[in-house]
Amino acid sequence: MKHRTLGNRLDVSALGLGCMSMSALYGPPADRQQMVQLIRAAHERGVTLFDTAESYGPFTNEDLLGEALQPIRDQVVIATKFGFDIDLQSGERRGGTNSRPEHIKAAVEGCLKRLRTDRIDLLYQHRVDPAVPIEEVAGAVKDLIAEGKVQHFGLSEAGVQTIRRAHAVQPLTAVQSEYSLFWRGPEQELLPVLLELGIGFVPFSPLGAGFLTGKIDEHTQFDPTDFRNHVPRFSPEARKANAALVDVVTAVAQRKGATPAQVALAWLLAQHPWIVPIPGTTKLHRLEENLGAADLALSAADLAQIEEQVAKVQVRGERLPAAALQMTGL
């Protein structure tokens, strides 16, 4: 597995593993012991960056990751997130955000226990809290870094001005947001600012929540608990219209002897050397397929063809429900 550097300071595998779907949002939680084995299989195949959050479950995904990575803790980079308003005792999600400094510090203590570690390698604010100045948030994380409980600071779904203000207090190592051929919003403002400031970028949903694999069409039925049931971009009508995007990566995949998912991930890797996608899965064969993208070289002609063809596709539907979009800075 090739490696990349986030923020000129954090060495990680070129592809990480997003662990959210093992516990939440994509239907019922997967079998815990099978997921422990999958996480360890990812490391055996070269993955060193593992992404979770206190809100996934809540708490259960961190606990899963802690069990899986405990024997190899010093060989991996663990990223987790704070910032939603969660009761730190019961795990009850109360809605909204909470990034008050005292809450951050208390939340991190819980993260450390669940992850079975003495430090968090990369700590993100999950969503910007409009009630707390970002300078106070950055200051709280700076204190945690000074104490050795956190190694690196990141933001998730933050706008460029918030990023600049946070970075001035505590340098950011990474910013995480959705980015793929299915949603290219970060290209407008975010990526130029990250390049300017020397901050790494970690795209989540790099396969468009599974759509770019080519395994989803307008007839696909999701589990009733799957969040995609509520996403405008995943309405049957939108899926039918957006299939043209899958056709683009499929055509390149057939020519390269690859899969659509591998082409979509390789396209992301080709955008900048400081981009580290974190595709998630609950299946070993999908993990292996995704990791194959790190060795798929797209030529300038391949990239030009993708760009030309994608420009002809008008993607239909918002990437998130309206309430969730309001919590993002993009």
Distance of CA 322 to the CA centre of its chain: 20
- Mean pLDDT within 38-57: 98
Q: What is the pLDDT of residue 142?
A: 98
- Mean pLDDT within 48-62: 98
What gap in Å lies between CA 144 and CA 220, rounded to an integer?
Answer: 45
Q: What phi, psi does 326 have (nearest 5°)?
A: -65, -20
Cβ pair 158, 128 in contact under 8 A: yes
Q: What is the pLDDT of residue 321?
A: 94
Burial of 181 (0-12, 13-18, 19+ CB in 10 A): buried
Sign of CA dihedral 115, 119, 123, 125: positive
Global pTM value:
0.98
Cβ pair 315, 182 in contact under 8 A: yes
Mean per-residue pLDDT over the chain, rounded: 97
- Written as six digits, the tokens of 161 are 């001005």
What gap in Å lies between CA 77 and CA 71, rounded to an integer?
Answer: 13
What gap in Å lies between CA 21 and CA 56, rounded to an integer?
Answer: 9
Residue 95 banded pLDDT, cuts 50, 70, 90: confident
What gap in Å lies between CA 9 and CA 274, rounded to an integer?
Answer: 11
Q: In angstroms, how far apart are the furthest CA atoms of the chain?
A: 54
Residues carrying an active site annotation = 56
CB contact set of 148 (below 8 Å; sequence gap of 6+) = 118, 119
Residue among 137, 184, 131 at smallest CA distance from 163: 137
Distance of CA 234 to the CA centre of its chain: 19
Residue among 119, 126, 76 at smallest CA distance from 104: 126
The proportion of the chain whose per-residue pLDDT surpasses 70, expressed as a percent, equals 100
Q: What is the pLDDT of residue 103?
A: 98
Q: What is the pLDDT of residue 122?
A: 99
Q: What is the pLDDT of residue 17?
A: 99
DSSP labels, 39-85: HHHHHHTT--EEE--TTTTTTHHHHHHHHHHGGGGGGSEEEEEE-EE
Residue 196 scores a pLDDT above 90: yes
Residue 289 banded pLDDT, cuts 50, 70, 90: very high
Residue 230 scores a pLDDT above 90: yes
Residue 76 scores a pLDDT above 90: yes
Residue 330 banded pLDDT, cuts 50, 70, 90: confident
Residue 161 banded pLDDT, cuts 50, 70, 90: very high
What gap in Å lies between CA 319 and CA 178, rounded to an integer?
Answer: 9
- The highest-level CATH class for domain 3-325 is alpha beta
Cβ pair 33, 40 in contact under 8 A: no
What is the bridge-based pairing of β-strands 172-178 and 150-156? parallel
Residue 128 scores a pLDDT above 90: yes
Domain ranges across the chain = 3-325
Q: What is the pLDDT of residue 154?
A: 98
Distance of CA 147 to the CA centre of its chain: 26
Q: What phi, psi does 259 have (nearest 5°)?
A: -110, 160
Residue 274 scores a pLDDT above 90: yes
